[in-house]
Homo-oligomer: A and B are copies of this chain.
Amino acid sequence: MEIPERKLIKILRNFEKKDINVLRGIGDDCAIVKLSGKPYALCQDAIVEEIHFSLSYMSPYQIGKKAIYANIADILSMGAMPLYYQVTLGIPERIMSDVIRGIYRGMSYVAKEFGLSLLGGDTVSTLNDFFIDVSMVGEVVWGDYKGRNQAKENDLIGVTGFLGESAYGLKIMKEGIKKKRGIKRFVKRYLNPRPPFEIWMEIMKNDITNAMMDVSDGLLLDLERMMEESGKCGVIYYEKLPIPEILKKEKLDDYALWGGEDYQFLFTFPRNKLELINILKSKGLIISVIGEVTSGRGIKVIKDGKEVKYNKVGYEHFSRE
Protein backbone atom coordinates (compact mmCIF):
# COMPACT_ATOMS: atom_id res chain seq x y z
CA MET A 1 0.00 0.00 0.00
CA GLU A 2 1.25 3.42 -0.86
CA ILE A 3 -0.29 6.49 0.73
CA PRO A 4 1.47 9.70 -0.27
CA GLU A 5 2.00 12.05 2.65
CA ARG A 6 -0.38 14.61 1.22
CA LYS A 7 -3.23 12.11 0.99
CA LEU A 8 -2.49 10.82 4.46
CA ILE A 9 -2.67 14.33 5.89
CA LYS A 10 -6.13 14.61 4.35
CA ILE A 11 -7.24 11.32 5.93
CA LEU A 12 -5.83 12.39 9.29
CA ARG A 13 -7.47 15.79 9.22
CA ASN A 14 -10.85 14.05 9.11
CA PHE A 15 -10.08 12.76 12.57
CA GLU A 16 -8.83 16.05 13.93
CA LYS A 17 -10.81 17.57 16.75
CA LYS A 18 -11.21 21.28 17.32
CA ASP A 19 -9.21 22.25 20.38
CA ILE A 20 -8.39 25.85 21.27
CA ASN A 21 -5.09 24.78 22.80
CA VAL A 22 -3.90 23.22 19.54
CA LEU A 23 -2.31 26.18 17.75
CA ARG A 24 -1.10 24.04 14.86
CA GLY A 25 -2.30 20.49 14.25
CA ILE A 26 -1.74 17.87 11.57
CA GLY A 27 0.23 18.80 8.45
CA ASP A 28 3.39 20.47 9.73
CA ASP A 29 6.78 19.31 10.99
CA CYS A 30 5.36 19.39 14.52
CA ALA A 31 2.09 20.11 16.21
CA ILE A 32 2.03 23.17 18.47
CA VAL A 33 -0.05 22.94 21.64
CA LYS A 34 -0.46 25.18 24.62
CA LEU A 35 0.40 23.47 27.90
CA SER A 36 -0.15 25.61 31.00
CA GLY A 37 -0.57 28.56 28.65
CA LYS A 38 2.77 28.20 26.84
CA PRO A 39 3.34 26.81 23.34
CA TYR A 40 5.18 23.49 22.93
CA ALA A 41 6.14 21.60 19.77
CA LEU A 42 5.46 17.85 19.55
CA CYS A 43 6.56 15.49 16.81
CA GLN A 44 7.07 11.80 16.15
CA ASP A 45 9.26 10.41 13.38
CA ALA A 46 10.27 6.83 12.63
CA ILE A 47 13.04 5.19 10.63
CA VAL A 48 12.90 1.62 9.34
CA GLU A 49 15.80 -0.63 8.38
CA GLU A 50 16.39 -0.94 4.62
CA ILE A 51 13.92 1.89 4.05
CA HIS A 52 15.62 4.76 5.90
CA PHE A 53 18.85 3.16 7.09
CA SER A 54 20.92 0.05 6.66
CA LEU A 55 23.25 -1.76 9.01
CA SER A 56 25.29 -2.67 5.95
CA TYR A 57 26.68 0.85 5.59
CA MET A 58 25.84 2.56 8.89
CA SER A 59 26.98 1.77 12.39
CA PRO A 60 24.34 1.46 15.14
CA TYR A 61 25.84 4.62 16.64
CA GLN A 62 25.24 6.56 13.40
CA ILE A 63 21.71 5.16 13.13
CA GLY A 64 20.91 6.29 16.66
CA LYS A 65 22.21 9.79 15.92
CA LYS A 66 20.21 10.01 12.72
CA ALA A 67 16.95 9.01 14.45
CA ILE A 68 17.35 11.90 16.89
CA TYR A 69 18.63 14.48 14.39
CA ALA A 70 15.57 13.88 12.19
CA ASN A 71 13.27 14.77 15.09
CA ILE A 72 15.42 17.69 16.24
CA ALA A 73 15.21 19.14 12.73
CA ASP A 74 11.41 18.96 13.00
CA ILE A 75 11.36 20.71 16.38
CA LEU A 76 13.82 23.43 15.30
CA SER A 77 11.92 24.06 12.10
CA MET A 78 8.89 25.13 14.18
CA GLY A 79 11.10 27.67 15.95
CA ALA A 80 11.25 25.54 19.11
CA MET A 81 14.09 24.19 21.24
CA PRO A 82 14.10 20.41 21.84
CA LEU A 83 13.59 19.32 25.47
CA TYR A 84 12.56 15.66 25.83
CA TYR A 85 12.34 12.50 23.79
CA GLN A 86 10.95 8.99 23.98
CA VAL A 87 11.94 6.02 21.84
CA THR A 88 10.17 2.89 20.70
CA LEU A 89 12.44 0.20 19.30
CA GLY A 90 10.92 -2.60 17.24
CA ILE A 91 13.45 -5.42 17.32
CA PRO A 92 13.51 -8.67 15.35
CA GLU A 93 15.30 -11.66 16.79
CA ARG A 94 18.38 -11.34 14.55
CA ILE A 95 19.34 -7.98 16.12
CA MET A 96 21.87 -8.43 18.91
CA SER A 97 21.93 -6.39 22.08
CA ASP A 98 25.23 -4.64 21.16
CA VAL A 99 23.37 -3.07 18.21
CA ILE A 100 20.77 -1.75 20.64
CA ARG A 101 23.43 -0.36 22.94
CA GLY A 102 25.17 1.30 19.98
CA ILE A 103 21.92 2.94 18.94
CA TYR A 104 21.31 4.26 22.45
CA ARG A 105 24.87 5.57 22.58
CA GLY A 106 24.31 7.46 19.32
CA MET A 107 21.01 8.87 20.53
CA SER A 108 22.58 9.80 23.82
CA TYR A 109 25.43 11.66 22.10
CA VAL A 110 22.98 13.88 20.22
CA ALA A 111 20.81 14.29 23.31
CA LYS A 112 23.80 15.66 25.21
CA GLU A 113 24.72 17.93 22.31
CA PHE A 114 21.25 19.50 22.38
CA GLY A 115 20.51 19.24 26.12
CA LEU A 116 17.72 16.72 25.58
CA SER A 117 16.51 14.23 28.20
CA LEU A 118 15.41 10.68 27.43
CA LEU A 119 12.09 10.00 29.17
CA GLY A 120 11.50 6.37 28.22
CA GLY A 121 9.41 4.70 25.57
CA ASP A 122 8.80 1.12 24.58
CA THR A 123 10.61 -1.90 23.21
CA VAL A 124 8.70 -4.48 21.23
CA SER A 125 9.48 -7.64 19.32
CA THR A 126 8.83 -7.71 15.61
CA LEU A 127 8.87 -10.66 13.24
CA ASN A 128 11.19 -9.07 10.67
CA ASP A 129 11.51 -5.30 10.59
CA PHE A 130 13.85 -3.29 12.73
CA PHE A 131 12.53 0.20 13.45
CA ILE A 132 13.17 3.21 15.67
CA ASP A 133 10.32 5.59 16.39
CA VAL A 134 11.15 8.77 18.29
CA SER A 135 8.73 11.28 19.75
CA MET A 136 10.02 14.65 20.92
CA VAL A 137 8.80 17.68 22.86
CA GLY A 138 10.22 21.16 22.33
CA GLU A 139 9.53 24.58 23.72
CA VAL A 140 8.72 27.65 21.62
CA VAL A 141 11.20 30.12 23.05
CA TRP A 142 11.07 33.26 20.92
CA GLY A 143 7.63 34.70 20.28
CA ASP A 144 5.54 32.81 17.75
CA TYR A 145 6.12 29.33 16.40
CA LYS A 146 7.12 29.05 12.74
CA GLY A 147 4.62 27.06 10.66
CA ARG A 148 4.93 26.09 7.04
CA ASN A 149 1.59 27.85 6.60
CA GLN A 150 3.01 31.29 7.42
CA ALA A 151 4.59 32.27 4.07
CA LYS A 152 3.43 35.73 3.00
CA GLU A 153 3.11 37.15 -0.49
CA ASN A 154 6.26 39.07 -1.44
CA ASP A 155 8.40 37.17 1.08
CA LEU A 156 11.83 36.05 -0.11
CA ILE A 157 12.73 32.35 0.11
CA GLY A 158 15.93 31.29 1.85
CA VAL A 159 17.66 27.98 2.47
CA THR A 160 20.59 27.05 4.72
CA GLY A 161 23.67 25.08 3.64
CA PHE A 162 23.85 23.05 0.43
CA LEU A 163 21.25 20.86 -1.25
CA GLY A 164 21.59 17.29 -2.48
CA GLU A 165 24.58 16.49 -0.30
CA SER A 166 22.91 13.69 1.57
CA ALA A 167 21.45 12.00 -1.53
CA TYR A 168 24.84 12.17 -3.24
CA GLY A 169 26.50 10.75 -0.12
CA LEU A 170 24.10 7.80 -0.17
CA LYS A 171 24.84 7.21 -3.86
CA ILE A 172 28.57 7.20 -3.17
CA MET A 173 28.16 4.66 -0.40
CA LYS A 174 25.78 2.42 -2.30
CA GLU A 175 27.83 2.41 -5.48
CA GLY A 176 31.19 2.38 -3.77
CA ILE A 177 32.56 5.18 -5.98
CA LYS A 178 36.34 5.18 -5.80
CA LYS A 179 37.97 7.77 -3.67
CA LYS A 180 37.76 11.14 -5.32
CA ARG A 181 38.79 14.40 -3.81
CA GLY A 182 36.14 16.22 -1.83
CA ILE A 183 33.46 13.57 -1.67
CA LYS A 184 33.93 12.72 1.97
CA ARG A 185 31.72 15.58 3.12
CA PHE A 186 28.74 14.13 1.20
CA VAL A 187 29.04 10.73 2.84
CA LYS A 188 29.40 12.50 6.16
CA ARG A 189 26.26 14.55 5.48
CA TYR A 190 24.28 11.37 4.85
CA LEU A 191 25.68 9.52 7.84
CA ASN A 192 25.59 12.43 10.25
CA PRO A 193 22.66 14.65 9.23
CA ARG A 194 23.04 17.22 11.98
CA PRO A 195 20.71 20.16 11.34
CA PRO A 196 22.60 23.49 11.02
CA PHE A 197 21.77 24.60 14.54
CA GLU A 198 24.15 27.58 14.64
CA ILE A 199 22.64 29.16 11.50
CA TRP A 200 19.15 28.39 12.82
CA MET A 201 20.02 30.14 16.08
CA GLU A 202 21.10 33.34 14.29
CA ILE A 203 17.98 33.27 12.13
CA MET A 204 15.81 32.86 15.24
CA LYS A 205 17.59 35.43 17.38
CA ASN A 206 17.22 38.00 14.62
CA ASP A 207 13.53 37.18 14.17
CA ILE A 208 13.96 36.82 10.42
CA THR A 209 11.46 34.23 9.20
CA ASN A 210 7.74 34.00 8.59
CA ALA A 211 7.45 30.34 7.54
CA MET A 212 10.02 27.61 8.13
CA MET A 213 10.40 23.87 7.59
CA ASP A 214 13.21 21.38 7.30
CA VAL A 215 14.18 20.03 3.89
CA SER A 216 13.80 16.31 4.47
CA ASP A 217 12.18 15.10 1.26
CA GLY A 218 13.87 17.30 -1.32
CA LEU A 219 13.65 21.03 -1.97
CA LEU A 220 10.89 21.00 -4.57
CA LEU A 221 8.56 18.62 -2.77
CA ASP A 222 9.03 20.42 0.55
CA LEU A 223 8.64 23.89 -0.96
CA GLU A 224 5.48 22.70 -2.68
CA ARG A 225 4.11 21.53 0.68
CA MET A 226 4.94 24.86 2.26
CA MET A 227 3.20 26.74 -0.53
CA GLU A 228 0.17 24.48 -0.35
CA GLU A 229 -0.17 25.06 3.39
CA SER A 230 0.34 28.82 2.94
CA GLY A 231 -1.90 29.06 -0.13
CA LYS A 232 0.84 30.80 -2.12
CA CYS A 233 3.18 30.22 -5.06
CA GLY A 234 6.93 29.76 -4.61
CA VAL A 235 9.16 30.97 -7.45
CA ILE A 236 12.77 29.82 -7.27
CA TYR A 237 15.71 30.59 -9.52
CA TYR A 238 17.83 27.63 -10.50
CA GLU A 239 20.99 29.74 -10.69
CA LYS A 240 20.60 30.79 -7.06
CA LEU A 241 20.30 27.28 -5.65
CA PRO A 242 23.19 26.13 -3.44
CA ILE A 243 24.08 23.13 -5.57
CA PRO A 244 27.54 21.66 -4.88
CA GLU A 245 29.86 22.08 -7.88
CA ILE A 246 30.51 18.37 -8.16
CA LEU A 247 26.81 17.65 -8.66
CA LYS A 248 26.64 20.16 -11.48
CA LYS A 249 29.77 18.67 -13.06
CA GLU A 250 28.37 15.16 -12.87
CA LYS A 251 24.97 16.36 -14.10
CA LEU A 252 23.41 15.19 -10.86
CA ASP A 253 21.88 18.55 -10.07
CA ASP A 254 18.51 16.80 -9.78
CA TYR A 255 19.78 15.55 -6.44
CA ALA A 256 19.64 19.12 -5.17
CA LEU A 257 16.04 19.47 -6.27
CA TRP A 258 14.67 16.09 -5.23
CA GLY A 259 17.22 14.45 -2.94
CA GLY A 260 15.98 13.63 0.55
CA GLU A 261 17.39 14.00 4.03
CA ASP A 262 19.31 17.24 3.63
CA TYR A 263 17.92 18.47 6.97
CA GLN A 264 18.61 22.05 5.96
CA PHE A 265 16.09 24.78 6.77
CA LEU A 266 13.85 26.27 4.12
CA PHE A 267 12.22 29.55 5.15
CA THR A 268 10.51 32.65 3.88
CA PHE A 269 11.15 36.16 5.20
CA PRO A 270 9.98 39.73 4.57
CA ARG A 271 12.17 41.71 2.18
CA ASN A 272 13.12 44.20 4.89
CA LYS A 273 15.06 41.41 6.61
CA LEU A 274 17.32 40.87 3.59
CA GLU A 275 19.94 43.16 5.05
CA LEU A 276 20.08 41.01 8.20
CA ILE A 277 20.49 37.90 6.05
CA ASN A 278 23.37 39.57 4.22
CA ILE A 279 25.04 40.43 7.53
CA LEU A 280 24.76 36.77 8.61
CA LYS A 281 26.22 35.68 5.26
CA SER A 282 29.11 38.13 5.66
CA LYS A 283 29.86 36.39 8.97
CA GLY A 284 30.36 33.16 7.06
CA LEU A 285 26.96 31.51 7.62
CA ILE A 286 25.86 29.60 4.53
CA ILE A 287 22.45 30.94 3.56
CA SER A 288 21.13 31.32 0.01
CA VAL A 289 18.24 33.51 -1.09
CA ILE A 290 16.72 31.36 -3.82
CA GLY A 291 13.42 32.97 -4.77
CA GLU A 292 10.23 34.67 -3.71
CA VAL A 293 6.65 34.06 -2.70
CA THR A 294 3.93 35.29 -5.05
CA SER A 295 0.18 34.98 -5.24
CA GLY A 296 -1.16 31.83 -6.87
CA ARG A 297 -0.44 28.22 -5.97
CA GLY A 298 2.31 25.66 -6.41
CA ILE A 299 5.94 26.24 -7.33
CA LYS A 300 7.81 27.57 -10.35
CA VAL A 301 11.45 26.89 -11.18
CA ILE A 302 13.08 29.54 -13.39
CA LYS A 303 16.26 28.60 -15.30
CA ASP A 304 17.95 30.93 -17.79
CA GLY A 305 14.98 33.26 -17.38
CA LYS A 306 12.44 30.61 -18.42
CA GLU A 307 10.13 28.39 -16.41
CA VAL A 308 11.25 24.77 -16.39
CA LYS A 309 8.80 21.92 -15.89
CA TYR A 310 9.89 19.06 -13.68
CA ASN A 311 8.29 15.69 -13.30
CA LYS A 312 7.80 14.76 -9.72
CA VAL A 313 10.46 12.24 -8.92
CA GLY A 314 10.84 13.43 -5.35
CA TYR A 315 11.32 11.39 -2.29
CA GLU A 316 7.99 11.04 -0.48
CA HIS A 317 8.23 9.94 3.14
CA PHE A 318 5.89 7.13 2.42
CA SER A 319 7.60 5.43 -0.49
CA ARG A 320 10.35 2.92 -0.79
CA GLU A 321 12.98 5.26 -2.14
> Which A residues fall within an 8 A CB radius of B?
1-3, 5, 8, 11-12, 14-17, 19, 22, 25-28, 30-31, 33, 35-38, 40, 42-52, 83-84, 86-88, 90-97, 100-101, 104-105, 107-108, 111-112, 116-129, 131, 133, 135, 137, 139, 317-320
Copies of this protein chain in the complex: 2
Do A100 and B25 contact each other (CB < 8 Å), given the known contacts A12-B120, A17-B112, A51-B125?
Answer: no
Subset of 11 A-B contacts with CB under 8 Å: A2-B125, A11-B100, A12-B104, A19-B117, A22-B84, A27-B120, A42-B120, A48-B127, A51-B126, A125-B320, A126-B131
Q: How far is the CB of A70 from chain B (nearest CB, A)?
A: 10
Q: Which of B25, B90, B105 is A119 in contact with, Cβ under 8 Å?
A: B25
Q: How far is the CB of A116 from chain B (nearest CB, A)?
A: 8
Say whether chain A's binding surface is mostly helix, strand, loop, or mixed.
Answer: mixed
Q: Is the CB of A119 within 8 A of B88?
A: no
Q: Is the CB of A46 within 8 A of B104?
A: no
Residue of B nearest to A18 (CB): B117
Q: How far is the CB of A67 from chain B (nearest CB, A)?
A: 12
Given known contacts A48-B90, A131-B131, what 5 new A-B pairs fall within 8 Å (CB)? A15-B118, A42-B86, A44-B86, A48-B124, A137-B137
